[in-house]
A and B are shown apart, each in its own frame.
Chain A
Amino acid sequence: MSAADEKTSRRSGRGIVCSDDLPLRAELADPYGRLPPLRSTEAVLEVRGVHAVYGDKEVLHNIFCHFPEKRVTAIMGPSGCGKSTLVKILNRTLELTPGAKVIAGTVLYHERDIYDRQSLPMDIRKRIGIIHQRPVPFPMPILDNVLFGANFHGLLNGMSPREYAEFYLDKVGLLEEIKDRLGDPASKLSGGQQQRLCLARTLANQPEVILMDEPCSAIDPVSTQRIEALISELKKEYAIIVVTHNMNQARRISDQAVFIFGGRIIEAGDTAQLFKEPKTELAQSFVSGLIG
């Protein structure tokens, strides 16, 4: 197989781009720079040449990758390699941290540049939701927590608030446990319950993509299991991108994986494939537990 054919087969339909100097989509562009339309099993989010900084320290270098719909993609790597930063640039929540920003490149969502002047961060964050490492319950009853974003975006559409909230609480498996406590302050829930509450809150926003920044690292193992089960359920409807430093978790839950190290994408592709036959040395070290 010629080198060109090899490249082509690696990047067809199912996969994610591999290394940081192979801008996948651009090579498929026609002479006028137009890209072919995406098909449903293709990428919903595409990162092109992003450089991100915290203050004057560059933490992401020349990132190219994309993330498919209705799949779980894991972003994995050792601590401090830029995983959280990468996931945050996907819905423009990186800029909420003072001093952090994307200084080059862009992210395309359904072919639209989310970093251009016309895009409203608010819209993007509604459609691409995120849950953080530490659950952040708002200082209000559980019910109000779930409805926080939904109320703002006017998503209830005539449904009673209780019905709407219960639907999403049920979706994350929380409804059984707290059915009669919906008026209680959210801070009374356990860590695992709070994280599921945050997930329900994000789902209630009716996003299309769900980002998860190490969602299980601050909660107990039982809750972790439940959330992993939820992820498997939810991927039927949403594109899910999970950051994790635990490679076993990545192996368990994801279909595709991106391995990032030192702010660069080292390897990416089908999870099973990546774990069985990593193509780069760094990835090899990571999956065999030598680094991380």
Chain B
Amino acid sequence: MKSTEAAISVTTLARRLGDPLMGASCLAALLLGVGSLLFMPLYVLVEAYPVLGNEGGVTGFLFTRPWRPLAAPPEFGILHSWVSTLMITAICLALALPLGYGIGLFVSEIAPRFVQAILQSSLQILAGIPSVVYGFFGYVTLLPLFESHLDMPAGESILAAAIILSIMVLPFVASTSAEAFRAVPAETKEAAFAQGVTRWHVIRRVVIPRAAPGMFAGAVLGFARAIGETLAVLMLAGNSLAVPTGVLDRGQPLTALIATELGEAGVGSRKFHALFAAGLILVVITVIINAGIWALKVKWVRPSE
């Protein structure tokens, strides 16, 4: 008995080492991956910092200075850029939210089973189309339309970018809000229906108020997605350095600014730091939004349990 026991222990020794080995290598993988992820925004902050400390500082960067890399001395202000971002995003949400909520309501409350499934697949397809393809689509459909009907020499504009962006954001708003609508307990709806009112009444008075936090989350997520989009707006917004004033003006949102100017930014130059500062704004907004959604999820899921 003893010798076979010893034999068994020896042969399985290698197998027993498996645990510490796996634990260690998996930990290493985790640290590598999450560490790199964490490193990114910190790095952006570090590279953006010189701009924030410079002449005029943050206010100058954001509000007063124009973007003139070729001037002497070169100036790097991003007023035109974040205004473009805001305008595009605002119009985009103005289009995407009603449409998205409408589709969300349709999917969760009205559509029969098989239509639900088809619609969900279509939304997934919409979400899966790459940004550059959307940009291309807008380029060959919207821009000529604008040029002929709105009497513009070139169709690139805030509005064009916003319209295409709203299609891109639509599936996220629709599925998030559909989830929120579905989460309204059936008993609550049944109780309301039992009062003998119309479906719209129940939806308006019961479902929407209950789903409001989820709808808000959908809007906020749509916002985050919209400000982070690059290629579509790059191809459709026009890349002008002037501050846009109307929807048919050309603009250059933050993402497009980075994409356009990075190629000519020498590493370590002031333009380089300025682009990182623009990036920092995007990172900060995205992280805050996602952290907020996380907190909402945590707070919201628990009380209902």
- Genuine A/B complex: yes
- The CA of A160 and the CA of B161, in the complex, are separated in Å by 68
Tell me, yes or no, whether A32 is within 8 Å of chain B by CB: no
Most chain A CB atoms below 10 A, which of B12, B15, B16: B12
Q: How many A-B residue pairs have CB under 8 A?
A: 11
Inter-chain contacts of A154 with B (CB < 8 A):
7-8, 11-12, 15
Tell me, yes or no, whether A140 is within 8 Å of chain B by CB: no
- Nearest chain A CB to B8 CB, angstrom units: 6
Cβ contact of A155, chosen from B8, B15, B16, cutoff 8 A: B8
Q: How many residues of B contact A (CB 8 A)?
A: 6
Flag B4-17 by CB within 8 Å of A: 1 or 0 each: 00011001100110
Inter-chain contacts of B11 with A (CB < 8 A):
154
Q: Output the nearest chain B residue to A154 by Cβ-Cβ distance.
A: B11
- Nearest chain A CB to B206 CB, angstrom units: 39
- Nearest chain B CB to A100 CB, angstrom units: 21
- The CA of A122 and the CA of B18, in the complex, are separated in Å by 13
Interface of B is mostly: helix
Q: Are B8 and A152 interface neighbours, CB within 8 A?
A: no
Q: Output the nearest chain B residue to A152 by Cβ-Cβ distance.
A: B15
Interface of A is mostly: helix
Inter-chain contacts of A152 with B (CB < 8 A):
12, 15
Q: Output the nearest chain B residue to A155 by Cβ-Cβ distance.
A: B8
Inter-chain contacts of B15 with A (CB < 8 A):
152, 154
Inter-chain contacts of A122 with B (CB < 8 A):
16
Q: Are B8 and A153 interface neighbours, CB within 8 A?
A: yes
Q: Output the nearest chain B residue to A127 by Cβ-Cβ distance.
A: B5
- The CA of A153 and the CA of B8, in the complex, are separated in Å by 6
- The CA of A154 and the CA of B16, in the complex, are separated in Å by 12
Inter-chain contacts of A153 with B (CB < 8 A):
8, 12
- The CA of A154 and the CA of B4, in the complex, are separated in Å by 11
- The CA of A122 and the CA of B12, in the complex, are separated in Å by 11
- The CA of A153 and the CA of B7, in the complex, are separated in Å by 10
- The CA of A154 and the CA of B7, in the complex, are separated in Å by 9
- The CA of A155 and the CA of B9, in the complex, are separated in Å by 11
Flag A109-147 by CB within 8 Å of B: 1 or 0 each: 000000000000010000000000000000000000000
User: A-side interface residues toward B, CB under 8 Å?
Assistant: 122, 152-155
User: B-side interface residues toward A, CB under 8 Å?
Assistant: 7-8, 11-12, 15-16
11 inter-chain pairs at a CB distance below 8 angstroms, sorted by A residue, are A122-B16, A152-B12, A152-B15, A153-B8, A153-B12, A154-B7, A154-B8, A154-B11, A154-B12, A154-B15, A155-B8
Query: Can you list the 4 inter-chain pairs with the closest CB atoms, starting with the nearest?
Result: A154-B11, A154-B12, A153-B12, A152-B15
